[in-house]
Amino acid sequence: MKVLVVGGGGREHTLVWKLKKSPRVDKIYCAPGNGGIARDAKCIPIAAEDIKGLADFAEREKIDLTVVGPEVPLVAGIGDTFASRGLKLFGPKAKAALLEGSKVFAKEKMVKYGLRTAAFEVFKDTSKAISFVRKLAGPCVVKADGLAAGKGVIIAKNTEEAEEAVRLIMEKRAFGEAGNSVVVEELLKGEEVSVLAFTDGKTIKPLAASQDHKRVYDRDEGPNTGGMGAYSPPPVYTDDLHEQVFREVLEPVIYGLAADGIQYKGVIYAGLILTEKGPYVLEFNCRFGDPETQVVLPRLKTDLIEVMEAVVDERLDDVQLEWDSRAAVCVVMASGGYPGSYAKGEVISGLDELPPNVLDFHAGTALVGEQLLTDGGRVLGITGFGATIEEAVQSTYVGVEKIHFEGMHYRRDIAHRALKKGLGTCGSA
């Protein structure tokens, strides 16, 4: 088979790495890919957002399956374009991807299908949003409706910050069109868990759960990032909780959409917060998480191409997902200054000294001649394994410490919540 992976970050490198293990895959392309992905796939200089360019390429090269990493092309309808041209693609069509593309749409569906989510109001008008946050007179969360590269969510500690957030989104248009509407919602407290599931619209097969680390510094301090590390499985996500989330979140959303005439095919990502009142849904994404993928897919023993084809052909019921019982930990190594502005083009050294059981997934690297250089904010995701989370943490940081590039920084406390609880052991997926 010939496979095309769309995107060029750590998530896509992991997808390429996993797909390449399939005996059925002969050739993998990645558009646009990056310096590390070039090791495992042929990189093609087509942007992930260039839907027509990607469809033309898939047609010309007779690609058997295209796998989409990022949300932007999915929300823009790459699934619809490929379907209309008779090309096979793994990922939801635009109507289903709206679950990530519009927070207003997602919240309205959550209410309609009876999912637990933060209490909220939607506003199209700045002054109404401002009078509402004044009435709340306390902390809240202000969210731009549309896609904002993970930056459109502002946690406001008080009324002043909430007003400022509303103005930033609606008046200053910090996220452009994404700020035509805002969602103002209740601030929830609890540990977060990322739960992903494959679905063909009829059958739902959850993946092993994981936990992301969004803040840039240790102890969850500093600004939010795209994710500084992840681990799987999070001990806080017990088997009982998993059962509850399956019945109360995954089934109602997939079957609710189906009843509304929207077939969801691909992978769905539920961002959950485990509150005192039980699991609440913070958001849905229409794709794999980044960096969650870097710990979840290496634990999947099943051939990924078999699973993806079963999703596309609507026979997911035939597939069993098998999981490696070892824990996995991923530490993201970022450029100096990230998530603010940062330099590119720093020389990366030490990758050849990684222990054999430690994986390097590239997020922002470029191969210039023989030299591997930094080329993004998040540069590398280093993934290690262990019989316990503690052991996986140790083996990952042994790898991390081999690597060097000017200005690099990374968190030293990935998986701290699991370790603090003394829950270093690893149960089922």
Tokens 């796998």 correspond to what residue?
A: 67
- Near ligand AMP by CB under 6 A: residue from 153, 166, 216, 307: 153
- Residues numbered 386-415 forming contacts with ligand AMP, rule: CB under 6 A: none
**Sheet bearing 327-334, strands edge to edge:** 211-212, 229-232, 327-334, 378-386, 359-362
* Contacts with ligand AMP, 193-222, as mask; x by CB under 6 A: ---------------------x--------
Cβ distance to ligand AMP smaller for residue 190 or 407: 190
Regarding 283 and contact with ligand AMP (CB under 6 A), the answer is: yes
Q: For residues 82 and 338, which CB has a smaller minimum distance to ligand AMP in the complex?
A: 338
Cα separation, 298 vs 386, whole angstroms: 12
Out of 285, 335, 374, 396, the residue judged to bind ligand GLY by CB under 6 A: 285
Applying CB under 6 A, the site for ligand GLY has a residue count of 6
Nearest residue to 289 (alpha-carbon basis) of 364, 388, 214: 214
Helix (H) or strand (E) holding 242: helix 239-245
Question: What's the min distance (Å) between Cβ of 230 and ligand GLY?
Answer: 7
The reply on whether position 271 binds ligand AMP by CB under 6 A is: yes
DSSP labels, 294-348: HHHGGGB-S-HHHHHHHHHTT-GGG----B-SSEEEEEEEE-TTTTS-----PBP
**Segment contacting ligand AMP (CB under 6 A): 1-9, 29-37, 186-194, 226-234?**
186-194
CB 330 within 8 A of CB 231: yes
* Contact partner, 153, from ligand AMP, ligand GLY, none, Cβ < 5-8 Å per class: ligand AMP
* DSSP label at residue 23: T
User: Would you state the torsion angle of the CA atoms of residues 92, 2, 9, 100, taken in this order, to the nearest 10 degrees?
Assistant: 0
Partner interacting with residue 360 (select from ligand AMP, ligand GLY, none; CB below 5-8 Å by kind): none
Among ligand GLY, ligand AMP, none, what does residue 185 contact (CB within 5–8 Å per kind)? ligand AMP
Q: Which of 31, 98, 110, 118 binds ligand AMP (CB under 6 A)?
A: 118
* Of the candidate residues 292, 303, 360, 390, the single one contacting ligand GLY (CB under 6 A): 292
- Tokens matching residue 35: 């310096």
Residue 93: φ, ψ to 5° = -75, 170
Binding residues (CB under 6 A) for ligand AMP: these are 118, 141, 143, 153, 155, 185-188, 192, 214, 271, 282-283
